[in-house]
Chains A and B, each alone.
Chain A
Amino acid sequence: MKKLRLALSKGEEMRFLSHLDYAQAVERMIRRAFIKMAYSEGFNPHMKISFSSALALGITAEVEYLDMDILEDDATVESIMERLNRVAPPGLTVMSGREMPDKVKKLMAICNYAVYEVSGPVTADVNWDELLKEFNDAPEIAYEKVTPKKTRTIDVKHFVKEPITARLDGDRVTLTMGIGIYPEGTMKPGDVWQLGREKYGWPVTDGYSIHRHEIMVERDGELLSPLDVTL
């Protein structure tokens, strides 16, 4: 058995796939590529693959990471990538990859930082650098996080530590935000957008789209690509 870590995209064509839909599309791609995979034991064997995150419906990703256990010991990473790309659905490209040691930690357990770009039309002409100051300088921001099960108050700044930056393109603004993913939870980029709109006077509407620019491993103040974390 061989463990591979691949970097792949979730493009515009796949924007509206839920995490499970995306995972199924990846599984079917692997099957079309005739890659001999390791399966779980039991009544209902599952292909041994795991992702770095559960990308929500509506979000595209520059890069998503995938770990897969293959039973082709002689295959090179390059040959696997090439076989996958030949049968990849529109919007999905396998961009890079690397063989990982067998005992490597799960992607989900190490990826703790994501950078999102949230964009949508602006409703007023403003100086965004000025406008974002209040949010960026606040030491803490209380936010009522509502889930179907319960409502609790969280501190937005615990998750959004880096200043948010804005880029204007005609009548659209793109806000870039780095968000921490911790054992205690995370903050949805769409919720940050709505919070800014409601509490900080950001001149935007509830029409926005989200692109995840990166997902990374933050370790000792350093940001690493999951491909470079082999421990």
Chain B
Amino acid sequence: MVQLDASWLQHVQKPARYTGGEWNSVVKDHKDMDVTMCFGFPDVYEVAMSHLGIKILYSLLNELPYVAAERVCAPWHDMEEEMRKRNIPLYSLETKTPVKDFDFLAFTLQYEMSYTNILNMLDMGGIPFYSKDRDLSFPLITAGGPCAYNVEPIADFVDIVNLGESEEHIVEMVELYRQEKAAGFPGGKEGLLRKMAQIPGNYVPSLYEPQYTEKGDFKGMKVLAEEAPAVVQKRIIEDMDNCFYPTKPVVPYIDVVHDRAVLELFRGCTRGCRFCQAGMLYRPVRERSPEKLVQLAKEIIANTGYNEISLMSLSSADYSRLPELVDMLMEEFKDKQVSVSLPSLRIDAFSIDIAKKVQQVRKSGLTFAPEAGSQRMRDVINKGVSEEDLIAACTNAFKSGWNTVKLYFMMGLPTETDEDVAGIADLAYKVLDLHREITGKRNGKVTVSVSFFVPKSHSPYQWYGQQSVEEIHRKQQYLKTLINNRNISYHYHDGATGYMEAVFARGDRRLAKTLIEAWKLGCKFDGWTEFFSIDKWMQAFKNTGIDPDYYARRDRDFDEPLPWDHLDDTVSKKYLKQEWDRAVEATLTRDCRRLPCNGCNVCPELNTAIVDYQEGGRVEKVTFGLK
């Protein structure tokens, strides 16, 4: 157990990040446990504690009497310095046990730019980076989350990758470990991993070897063990009403990014925005029933003391029985000073009515994401939102007393021209003018936030070569010349981060050495603008003889083997290709939720269906997969 002394700990920023002891955190004696797992979040505590996935799995495992699940986050720079100076290894928040002493160290992969933090956490934990350099005296390093679908750049560091939703999966993994541990690990680490590879959804990278052509292009995966499936398919939970949901989440003492109770309305989103990886990965849409949600909300509020409950999903406004749910929650909490919040709004007047209901007094800003400035561009990405929708939403909002609107856009989308970029400015001006027209006042504020599009694996844009950083900077400056109004503020980021993200979002195993080199050069917290250094990254690529453009900027052939082909979210490649073609033609693809199947392949492949409570629950309809 690590000893912490207040006399030095009080001098680091926010020491409560490192001391645990929060309400609902679970402390168990490891002596009485068969299996111990530490969840590692490769970012600072405030970000980690806002993540729903860890809340779910942490509570789920701690319900098992023979498992202790704990947490560890990336120490901030000042704390890292103190820990290294004092030879304090990375330790868990609950029992202050060095992470090295756990059976599992399970990382969540939310964002490519957190990979150097994973290396740094392993290093602080005294754990060798490469899976091959670790025997069973070290914890098994596992990883899950959206980036698990293209885990290849860090595959050499990880023992087991979990694809998809883990509520059932993680228990199977822990059970197997428990049996093997009791038997004294008869097959050693390799034997254990071979067994682990047989659990559906488990990907054991060491049992696969990437093959390359003489030219150095990825050619395919050689499967090294008969236990390992050629293609690893994701896991999902179909019945959300009977799926575990944490009603006793840890309540942080310090302010975290999302400091409120979280109610997950549904998983998946089938609007089919073509840039969106999540929209493909989490299919199909599966809702919880309003009755179940109200029951969960009551329990969570009672167990935490939170005074706010946030309705979370990929697109919460699409919850089929949202008005009813909001009414039920408001009725339930009306005398309890609990407010309900919606983190994301759909662009239509209906959403504003809901927003009005939940934000009865405080009119903080409204956020919309048209994503692109011109109708043509929005059709290309299948956003399915028109200018009229935005105007209708803003009209309703301004009439109801809102004065601030935030608009999110992307730049660098396929087929984009300067005209499309100029459309962003047009839209911002139209919204501002509308405010003046409706209110007669000049205190309207529009914030325009533009990000740099990163093509992701498993999306229709997975073949697309990202635009150059120079081109993005040119477009950013061009847009700047079009916005000259003190009531419109314009935000954009340096393009270099998006460029690096693009490299790792579609990288292969050869990038492992670049990551280590970048870490050695001092890269960490790369998602934090103030710590990101493109110079160090470019140096790391140079030192390891790798051309980042090969991964980020190259248009890939449609028949080219992709390094993530064996990691299957069950959306067929043919469907993605069809979506790409339709994008180029600016043709829309309908939302399959209540319309006929588009053939993405998820439902038939996983033998599942959409669960939509407006349609009475599980939707029985003909589904197919383009193959």
The verdict on A39 contacting chain B, using a C-beta distance below 8 Å, is yes
Compute how far the CA of A25 lies from the CA of B303 in the bound complex, rounded to whole angstroms: 13
Smallest CB-CB A-B distances: 3 pairs: A28-B305, A207-B7, A31-B305
**Given A25-B253, A28-B305, A29-B305, A209 and B7 contact (CB-CB distance below 8 Å):** yes
The verdict on B16 contacting chain A, using a C-beta distance below 8 Å, is yes
**Given A21-B253, A31-B305, A13 and B10 contact (CB-CB distance below 8 Å):** no
A-binding segment of B17-25, B419-427, B438-446:
B17-25
| 24 pairs of residues in contact across A and B, judged by CB atoms under 8 Å | A13-B21, A15-B6, A16-B15, A16-B16, A17-B16, A21-B255, A24-B253, A27-B305, A28-B304, A28-B305, A28-B306, A31-B306, A31-B336, A31-B337, A32-B305, A43-B361, A45-B337, A57-B16, A89-B23, A89-B253, A91-B21, A121-B7, A207-B8, A209-B6
Compute how far the CA of A57 lies from the CA of B16 in the bound complex, rounded to whole angstroms: 9
Q: How large is the interface on B (under 10, 10 to 19, 20 to 34, 35 or more residues)?
A: 20 to 34
The verdict on A30 contacting chain B, using a C-beta distance below 8 Å, is yes
Cβ–Cβ contact B10 & A16, under 8 A: yes
Closest residue of B by beta carbon distance from A39:
B337
A-B contacts counted at CB < 8 A amount to 77
Q: Choose from B8, B21, B255, B303 the contact partner of A90 (Cβ within 8 Å).
A: B21
Contacts of A44 in B (CB 8 A): 361-362
Contacts of A27 in B (CB 8 A): 305, 307
Cβ–Cβ contact A17 & B251, under 8 A: no
Contacts of B9 in A (CB 8 A): 16
Closest residue of A by beta carbon distance from B19:
A16
Contacts of B251 in A (CB 8 A): 28
The verdict on B388 contacting chain A, using a C-beta distance below 8 Å, is no
Contacts of A13 in B (CB 8 A): 19, 21
Closest residue of A by beta carbon distance from B301:
A31
Which A residues between 16 and 62 are near B, CB-CB below 8 angstroms?
A: 16-18, 21, 24-25, 27-32, 34, 39, 43-45, 47, 57-58
Contact with B along A193-208 (1 / 0, CB 8 A): 0000000000001011
Cβ–Cβ contact B307 & A58, under 8 A: no
Contacts of A17 in B (CB 8 A): 16, 253-254
Cβ–Cβ contact A209 & B306, under 8 A: no
Closest residue of B by beta carbon distance from A31:
B305
Cβ–Cβ contact B6 & A43, under 8 A: no
Compute how far the CA of A57 lies from the CA of B254 in the bound complex, rounded to whole angstroms: 11
Compute how far the CA of A126 lies from the CA of B253 in the bound complex, rounded to whole angstroms: 41
Cβ–Cβ contact A57 & B305, under 8 A: no
Contact with A along B578-604 (1 / 0, CB 8 A): 000000000000000000000000000
Contacts of A15 in B (CB 8 A): 6, 10, 15, 19
Q: Choose from A45, A90, A91, A208 the contact partner of B7 (Cβ within 8 Å).
A: A208
Q: Which residues of A contact B (CB under 8 A)?
A: 13-18, 21, 24-25, 27-32, 34, 39, 43-45, 47, 57-58, 87, 89-91, 120-121, 205, 207-209
Compute how far the CA of A90 lies from the CA of B9 in the bound complex, rounded to whole angstroms: 19
Compute how far the CA of A144 lies from the CA of B25 in the bound complex, rounded to whole angstroms: 43
Compute how far the CA of A202 lies from the CA of B23 in the bound complex, rounded to whole angstroms: 40
Cβ–Cβ contact A207 & B5, under 8 A: yes
Which B residues between 243 and 262 are near A, CB-CB below 8 angstroms?
A: 251, 253-255
A33 to B: closest C-beta gap in Å: 8
Closest residue of B by beta carbon distance from A208:
B7
The verdict on B302 contacting chain A, using a C-beta distance below 8 Å, is yes
Closest residue of A by beta carbon distance from B10:
A58
Contacts of B253 in A (CB 8 A): 14, 17, 21, 24-25, 89
Q: Choose from A28, A121, A208 the contact partner of B23 (Cβ within 8 Å).
A: A28
Closest residue of B by beta carbon distance from A43:
B361
B298 to A: closest C-beta gap in Å: 12
Contacts of A87 in B (CB 8 A): 305
Closest residue of A by beta carbon distance from B254:
A21
Residue of B15, B22, B253 ringed by the most chain A CB atoms within 10 A: B253
Compute how far the CA of A197 lies from the CA of B593 in the bound complex, rounded to whole angstroms: 71
B402 to A: closest C-beta gap in Å: 15
A39 to B: closest C-beta gap in Å: 6
Compute how far the CA of A27 lies from the CA of B338 in the bound complex, rounded to whole angstroms: 13
Compute how far the CA of A207 lies from the CA of B12 in the bound complex, rounded to whole angstroms: 12
Which B residues between 283 and 320 are near A, CB-CB below 8 angstroms?
A: 301-307
Compute how far the CA of A208 lies from the CA of B253 in the bound complex, rounded to whole angstroms: 23
B77 to A: closest C-beta gap in Å: 18
Known: A27-B305, A28-B304, A208-B7. 13 other contacts (CB 8 A): A13-B19, A16-B9, A17-B16, A17-B253, A17-B254, A25-B253, A43-B361, A44-B361, A45-B337, A58-B6, A87-B305, A209-B6, A209-B7
Contacts of B307 in A (CB 8 A): 27, 31
Q: Choose from A18, A32, A45, A207 the contact partner of B303 (Cβ within 8 Å).
A: A32
Cβ–Cβ contact A57 & B15, under 8 A: yes
Contacts of A89 in B (CB 8 A): 21-23, 253
Closest residue of B by beta carbon distance from A32:
B305
Which B residues between 1 and 52 are near A, CB-CB below 8 angstroms?
A: 5-10, 14-16, 19, 21-23
**Given A57-B10, A120-B7, A209-B7, A21 and B305 contact (CB-CB distance below 8 Å):** no
Residue of A25, A30, A44 ringed by the most chain B CB atoms within 10 A: A25
Closest residue of A by beta carbon distance from B14:
A16
Compute how far the CA of A29 lies from the CA of B7 in the bound complex, rounded to whole angstroms: 28
Contacts of A30 in B (CB 8 A): 305
Compute how far the CA of A43 lies from the CA of B401 in the bound complex, rounded to whole angstroms: 15
Compute how far the CA of A27 lies from the CA of B8 in the bound complex, rounded to whole angstroms: 29
B2 to A: closest C-beta gap in Å: 15
Contacts of B302 in A (CB 8 A): 32, 34
Contacts of A21 in B (CB 8 A): 16, 253-255
